[in-house]
Each structure stands twice: as structure tokens, then as C-alpha cells.
């Protein structure tokens, strides 16, 4: 299958999956049944050639040059200076404590706080925190990745949030990272965090998780080639002043990854009530492959697998063996 067909397939999946969703109303391919609310129906996955399977993220793949996913896990060790940051930044899920603190300021804490948003912000703050007086200035510096932020061409037309059928709140992308192109050739791999308003279940994929996957793949597929930092700055200014002209300029540009076949991404999915899992997705001809870890609890700071999740958030690109 040629790269043009793969790109068209990615764009088609994006429109199929997001086109019908214009608010919290129900759509036919997302369950509204108790116990599976928010899950994409298996029949729809089969119809759209989307494969989901389990993935053991704790298997010792570190250092292997070729893996079953297009990423290599970093050493599962937290830098020592991350520990005090975790103490400060980790969300306090003790509702009674929060309620007492809020009452001091005349505020009320809702019983159903959106913990997934807070956990997502925690990983973003921990990942990007500046280290003073260290050999490396931040974890992206240590692991040779780059924070994708405005005016990076990927974000010029990217969606950072979207509706979720049957839920008032939507999915939200918080942090996006990529291999640092100043150190190695530009690669399409993206590592990101996103929050979901729903509770995930083993063996099923949430609408919001799949929406994040197809949205990021789509935005990577249409990402324009930008030749310099100066040109990037100009496009960034256009995005704030003249969206119509920006669209015209972007439509005339060649894609940044014209020969890409897989559009790989790695997603830290933060879900309610206080849990998370990691998903890896890539194209295999016209099949969208999604591998999902088990669901981990982040209810207690001491037992939360923070180091494990960071070791994948900062993963390195790798060839993939088709299985």
C-alpha cells in the first residue's frame, strides 16, 4: 500500500470517527449502556478495521533495537530530583482533606471531581519541570525529546479537545512530545497525555481514547513541511490573526512526512475515577493497530506507577515487528 493511500486512510478514519460527534449526544457506535458507557462498539471497530489488543508494558523491552511496538521504553528509574516534585505536584485524591481546605476559603468541592484532568496536568508539570543546577535542564533534555507547542506546525491545525458522546465533559490533550529533530532526523513518532471524562474497562477502548488517536494521526498526516524557525514563527502569527490565510498557506505546502506508513503514537490515557493506562497505535496498511496496557490505579501516591508511565512517555523511536 502506498503512502498516499495510508495518508488517505488516516484522514478518512478521522472524519468517520469525529464527523458524527457534535456534542454530548449519543451516536450509534458508542455504548450508552451502564457498565460499558463510553466504549466504542466492537462491531464498529471490526467494520472500520481497527484492531485492539492487550499489551504488557512491564515486559523488559528496554534496550531492544526492535520491539512489537514502534517505541523503546526508557530505563524504569525516576531521576532523584523527581521525587520532591512528585511530593509537591501529585494530586491529592483525599476528598475530605480537599473539602476542609476549600471550606477555609468559602469554597465547595464537588463529590465527583474530574481527577483525570488533574492527573493529566500532574504528568505535564512533572515532565516539563526545569531542573536547576543539573547536567540536564529537564526530562525532555535528558531523554532527547522536544515539547510540541505553538507555533510548531503540528499544532497549527491540531485539535486539543473534543466532545464525548453521553458525557458533558470531553477528551482533552495536554502534553505532546516528539523526538528532538535537532539531534536526529525528523520522525513522526508522538508521545502524549490526554484526559478522559469516563471510566475505562479492560478489553474495551473509550470513544475519547480512539478520538485522540485518530485526531493526532490525522494532524500528523496533514502537518506541513516548514523549512525554518522563522517560517514557523510567521505561520504562528497567522494562526492568531488570519485563519483563512493560514489555511491557504498550509494547503500549498508539502506534508512533513510524505513517505510515512505508520504514524505511530504513544498515549498516556488518564481516566476516571483515578486510573490510567498506556495505548500505542500505528497504521499497518489499512489496519489501525491499537495496543493497550492494563488499567493502573493512581489512587495512592506511594503505589502509583509514576516511574513506569514516565519511562514510556519519554520512549525512543524503534522499528516495529508486525505480529
Which cell numbers in the block locate residue 1? 500500500
- Distance CA(225)–CA(112), nearest Å, equals 43
Tell me how far CA of residue 127 lies from CA of 86, 172, 215, 293, 303, in angstroms. Answer: 11, 17, 23, 21, 19
Task: Note the pLDDT of residue 67.
Answer: 64
| Statement: residue 61 has pLDDT above 70 | no
Higher pLDDT, 246 or 45: 45
Other C-beta atoms closer than 10 Å to the C-beta of 243 total: 12
Which cell numbers in the block locate residue 275? 486510573
Contacts of 20 (CB under 8 A, 6+ apart): 27, 28
The model's pLDDT over 107-163, given as tens digits with 9 standing for 90+, comes to 555 555 578 898 999 999 999 988 766 667 788 988 899 999 888 888 877 788 999
- Distance CA(119)–CA(125), nearest Å, equals 10
- Distance CA(94)–CA(96), nearest Å, equals 6
Instruction: Choose from 12-21, 24-33, 35-44, 312-321 the range with maximum mean pLDDT.
Output: 35-44
Query: How long a stretch of residues is the chain?
Result: 323
Nearest to 201 by CA among 266, 116, 272, 280: 272
Place of cell 471524562: 197
Strands 265-272 and 275-284: antiparallel
- Distance CA(193)–CA(209), nearest Å, equals 10
For the chain, the average pLDDT equals 85
CA angle in degrees (0–180, nearest 5) for 53-58-64? 95
Task: Note the pLDDT of residue 184.
Answer: 63
Q: Percentages helix, strand, coil for the chain, rounded to the nearest 5?
A: 35, 25, 45
The model's pLDDT over 262-302, given as tens digits with 9 standing for 90+, comes to 999 999 999 998 899 999 999 999 999 999 999 999 988 88
Tell me how far CA of residue 130 lies from CA of 78, 79, 151, in angstroms. Answer: 15, 13, 21
Give me the residue spans of the domains in the chain.
Answer: 3-223+256-317
CB contact burial 28-39 (16+ within 10 A = b; e otherwise): ebbbeeeeebbb
Q: Write the DSSP symbol of residue 23.
A: S
- Distance CA(66)–CA(68), nearest Å, equals 7
Task: Note the pLDDT of residue 27.
Answer: 87
Question: Quick check: 217 and 263 in contact, CB under 8 A?
Answer: yes
Higher pLDDT, 274 or 184: 274
The model's pLDDT over 69-87, given as tens digits with 9 standing for 90+, comes to 899 998 876 766 677 888 8
Task: Note the pLDDT of residue 297.
Answer: 95
The model's pLDDT over 200-231, given as tens digits with 9 standing for 90+, comes to 999 999 999 999 999 999 999 989 888 777 88
Task: Note the pLDDT of residue 3.
Answer: 53
Higher pLDDT, 88 or 124: 124
Amino acid at each position: 500500500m502506498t503512502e498516499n493511500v495510508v495518508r488517505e486512510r488516516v484522514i478518512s478514519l478521522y472524519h468517520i470517527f469525529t464527523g458524527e460527534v457534535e456534542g454530548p449526544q449519543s451516536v450509534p457506535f458508542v455504548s450508552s449502556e451502564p457498565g460499558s458507557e463510553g466504549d466504542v462498539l466492537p462491531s464498529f471497530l471490526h467494520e472500520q478495521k481497527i484492531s485492539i489488543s492487550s499489551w504488557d508494558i512491564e515486559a523488559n523491552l528496554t534496550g531492544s533495537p526492535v520491539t512489537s511496538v514502534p517505541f523503546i521504553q526508557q530505563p524504569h528509574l525516576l531521576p532523584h530530583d523527581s521525587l520532591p516534585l512528585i511530593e509537591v505536584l501529585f494530586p491529592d485524591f483525599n476528598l475530605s482533606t480537599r473539602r476542609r481546605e476549600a471550606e477555609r476559603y468559602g469554597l465547595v468541592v464537588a463529590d465527583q471531581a474530574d481527577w483525570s484532568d488533574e492527573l493529566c496536568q500532574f504528568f505535564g508539570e512533572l515532565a516539563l519541570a526545569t531542573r536547576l543546577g543539573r547536567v540536564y535542564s529537564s526530562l525532555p533534555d535528558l531523554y532527547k525529546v522536544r515539547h510540541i507547542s505553538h507555533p510548531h506546525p503540528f499544532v497549527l491545525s491540531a485539535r486539543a479537545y473534543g466532545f464525548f458522546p453521553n458525557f458533558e465533559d470531553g477528551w482533552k490533550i495536554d502534553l505532546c512530545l516528539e523526538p528532538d529533530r535537532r539531534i536526529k532526523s525528523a520522525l513522526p513518532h508522538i508521545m502524549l497525555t490526554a484526559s478522559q471524562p469516563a471510566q475505562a474497562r479492560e478489553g474495551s477502548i473509550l470513544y475519547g481514547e480512539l478520538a485522540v488517536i485518530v485526531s493526532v494521526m490525522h494532524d500528523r498526516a496533514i502537518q506541513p513541511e516548514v523549512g525554518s524557525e522563522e517560517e514557523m514563527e510567521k505561520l504562528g502569527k497567522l494562526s492568531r490573526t488570519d485563519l483563512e490565510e493560514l489555511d491557504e498557506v498550509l494547503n500549498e505546502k508539502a506534508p512533513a512526512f510524505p513517505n510515512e506508513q505508520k504514524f505511530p503514537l504513544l498515549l498516556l490515557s488518564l481516566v476516571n475515577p483515578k486510573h490510567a493506562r498506556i495505548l500505542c497505535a500505528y497504521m499497518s496498511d489499512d489496519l489501525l493497530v491499537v495496543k493497550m496496557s492494563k488499567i493502573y490505579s493512581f489512587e495512592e501516591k506511594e503505589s502509583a506507577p509514576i516511574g513506569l508511565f514516565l519511562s514510556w512517555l519519554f520512549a525512543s523511536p524503534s522499528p516495529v515487528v508486525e505480529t
